[in-house]
Chains A and B, each alone.
Chain A
């Protein structure tokens, strides 16, 4: 076998090179007991034990195989033997540069059980080192999971990470590899709307659900956490049976499908003025509040329908009080239209009517009501400048923040809310930290109070 290897190997680092290496000690010149083929991947240098390398190759024609993980580029005919070709860059979520000539650099590996091909950025050379120079890996060294690195070694001023290919491609490993869709998107340079689909058939329902979680994150920036997990579990079952009946694939492959899935998540009347029934439930909620000056924080208010409803209802319940509402959103287009929002006359509920005025282009809101509202273009992750609040209305907002941000903002809600204040989240949302908050039973709102003894 070694003669075959030597024939196809492009260049061999040899004793001569070692002799010229100024950094090494004299004894090392003799003890070259480990040879590796070095290559580059995502800008870093790696090496594979030459004993595992069958040959270096240039792949130019794969046959794509459906129902395989995305890092499997296809199969290749190696002189009559059909082998799988794995793109290590996709495998490790590294950026892939599309080659113009369609020819990829790779290595054919001979593992314990089978032969496999891998694609890398470029092949460097064969390097001989002393095995005692190999250091154990440290997580800081690599872009990839340290468990796949058997060691690191320095040679000629360059640091090489030695890949443990058995660990990488051992039989039990390959089946479970599921790179998240968004990193896949990044590595393939594809946009989410171009239905890139993993097309992997997973054995268990759990992984299918995990996959849906990933796609929701990718397509809609919707993050599943204890905040909305209860809804997801229910919805998943519903979706599965629906799709089963329709004979359609479970997986979400596009933004449109993600929208379909999320349909049951949204709170009612997010983008419309609240009708009487919802208004009644809201009035019930706030009747417990006391004081002469009320501060309301309404992040994620969108176009402002919610804001106007809330403000008008506050005035209905507490006609003598001073109400100030801080309404904000990071959607510039939506929030810009809020101060001049127009309504269809037929849709205006009774509690809002006193504050409407007919204009040339439709029915608008009077300054009497508008003066109480500050509409702001604002990112909730930046410093929030609001006073202590009696009420926070943040429906369907947290679910679109990363898990860390969800916790951060929820904490901020806790801090900014007065002791007897009320927090309203989306219909299918509940605070991640169940201990700090107590649910207030209400027909239409997911409302909570601080859990203070």
Chain B
């Protein structure tokens, strides 16, 4: 992934999570993965278009998703219902949009597509032919792995 894209995603993830959850947020070490993505239980996906093509996947366990959705709604959710899913999707949307905004200011024209959410065990989301950057974000409710796969339109 182009180095210029890295910081906007890392910064947005940190900033949005901190603002929305009002908690301790720390970042794990970044690394690269070949995209056969085993999913931790809940995955929110936002597509990217424009000068590039790709997607961002927000990967977390169901437990973490429920806790995060609860905090964001100001009420305790017992399970990941429609409201909970909409909440996680919106979180993914905000982080991606903020990153896209930053990248826009740097001169990179990206667009994002409406997000989608997948839940289930042992899911694999594979984007053909692209490597993914993993940004692990650690919050009190668990780990959120941000998985970014972007390819330049050559």
Contacts and interface: CB of A to CB of B under 8 A. Distances in A.
A379 B129 contact: no
A387 B153 CA distance: 11
A338 B6 CA distance: 13
A376 B52 CA distance: 14
B102 to A, nearest CB: 16
Contacts of A187: none
Given A377-B133, A383-B129, A387-B154, A336 B34 contact: no
Contacts of A387: 154
A382 B31 CA distance: 12
A374 B6 contact: no
A179 interface: no
A383 B1 contact: no
A75 to B, nearest CB: 45
B4 interface: yes
Interface residues of B, number: 16
B79 to A, nearest CB: 37
A271 to B, nearest CB: 18
A339 B129 CA distance: 25
Contact of B3 (A335, A381, A383, A385): A335
A375 B1 CA distance: 8
Given A335-B3, A339-B4, A377-B1, A385 B151 contact: yes
A440 B1 CA distance: 33
Contacts of B3: 335-336, 338-339, 375-377
Contacts of A335: 3
A378 B131 contact: yes
A370 to B, nearest CB: 10
A374 B3 CA distance: 8
Interface in B9-43: 30, 32-34
A350 B133 CA distance: 38
Given A374-B2, A377-B1, A332 B30 contact: yes
Interface string A387-418: 10000000000000000000000000000000
Contacts of B130: 383, 385
B152 interface: yes
B151 A376 contact: no
| Best-buried of B3, B32, B129, B152 by chain A (most CB within 10 Å) | B3
24 contacts: A332-B30, A335-B3, A336-B3, A339-B3, A339-B4, A375-B2, A375-B3, A375-B4, A377-B1, A377-B3, A377-B6, A377-B30, A377-B32, A377-B133, A378-B32, A379-B131, A381-B34, A383-B34, A383-B129, A385-B129, A385-B130, A385-B151, A385-B152, A385-B154
Closest 3 CB pairs of A and B: A382-B131, A382-B34, A379-B32
Interface of B: 1-4, 6, 30, 32-34, 129-131, 133, 151-152, 154
Given A339-B4, A378-B1, 11 more contacts: A332-B30, A375-B2, A375-B4, A376-B1, A377-B6, A377-B30, A381-B34, A383-B129, A383-B131, A385-B154, A387-B154
